[in-house]
Structure 1
Amino acid sequence: MKKILSVILGLGLSCSAIANEVSFEEYVDALKQQALEQGISQDTVNQAFEGVTYRPRAVSSDRNQPEKKLTLDEYIPRAVPDWKVKQARDLYNKHYTELKRIGDEYGVQPQYIVALWGVESNFGALTGGYSVIDALSTLAYEGRREAFFRKEALAALTILDEGHITAEAMKGSWAGAMGQPQFMPSSFLAYAADGNGDGKKDIWNTKADVFASAANYLSQSGWDDTYTWGRQVQVPESVDISMQGREAEKGKYLQEWSKLGITRYDGRPLPKLDNDIQAWLIMPDDHHGRTYLVYNNYNVLMKWNRSYYFALAVSHLADRIKY
Structure 2
Amino acid sequence: MKKLLSVMLGAALSLNAFASDKGTFDDYVNGLKQEAREQGISESILSEAFQGVEFKPRAVTADRNQPEKKLTLDEYIPRAVPDWKVKQAKQLYQQHYSDLKRIGDEYGVQPRFIVALWGVESNFGKFTGNYRVIDALSTLAYEGRREAFFRKEALAALNILQQGHISPDKMKGSWAGAMGQCQFMPSSFLTFAADGNGDGKKDIWNTKADVFASTANYLSGSGWDENYTWGRQVKVPAGISPELQGREASKGKFLAEWSKLGITRYDGRALPTLDEDIKAWLIMPDDDNGRSYLVYNNYNVLMRWNRSYYFALAVSHLADRIVMD
Which range, TM-score by smaller chain? Answer: over 0.9
Other-structure match for 2:216:
215
Other-structure match for 1:144:
145
Deviation, structure 1 residue 273? 0.8
Matched, 1:48 2:49: yes
Output the CA distance in 2 between the equivalents of 1:156 and 1:236.
Answer: 49
**Contact map agreement 1:252 1:279 (CA 8 A) in 2:** yes
Other-structure match for 1:303:
304
Shift of the 266–196 alpha-carbon distance from structure 1 to 2, 3 Å rule, reads same
1:185-212: per-residue Cα shift (whole Å, max 9, x none)? 0000010000001110000000000000
Among all aligned residue pairs of Structure 1 and Structure 2, give the percentage whose two residues are the same amino acid: 77
Give unmatched runs, 5+ long, in structure 2. Answer: 1-15
**Contact map agreement 1:178 1:204 (CA 8 A) in 2:** yes
The count of corresponding residues between Structure 1 and Structure 2 is 308
Output the CA distance in 1 between the equivalents of 2:206 and 2:45.
Answer: 21
Other-structure match for 1:83:
84
Pairing 1:65-214 to 2, within 5 Å after superposition: 65-214=66-215
Deviation, structure 1 residue 246? 0.3
SS at match of 1:57: helix
Pairing 1:222-301 to 2, within 5 Å after superposition: 222-237=223-238, 239-301=240-302
1:146-178: per-residue Cα shift (whole Å, max 9, x none)? 111100000000000000000000000001000
Other-structure match for 1:20:
20
Which 10-residue stretch deviates more, 201-210 or 19-28?
A: 19-28
Q: In the alignment, residue 231 of structure 2 is paired with which amino acid?
A: G
Q: In the alignment, residue 118 of structure 1 is paired with which amino acid?
A: G
Q: In the alignment, residue 288 of structure 1 is paired with which amino acid?
A: N
Other-structure match for 2:323:
322
Deviation, structure 1 residue 291? 0.2
Deviation, structure 1 residue 288? 1.2
SS at match of 1:168: helix
SS at match of 1:232: strand
**Contact map agreement 1:241 1:287 (CA 8 A) in 2:** no
Output the CA distance in 2 between the equivalents of 1:19 and 1:165.
Answer: 32
Q: In the alignment, residue 242 of structure 2 is paired with which amino acid?
A: I
Q: TM-score, normalised by structure 1?
A: 0.94
RMSD: 1.1
Output the CA distance in 1 between the equivalents of 2:104 and 2:216.
Answer: 7
Output the CA distance in 1 between the equivalents of 2:310 and 2:239.
Answer: 26
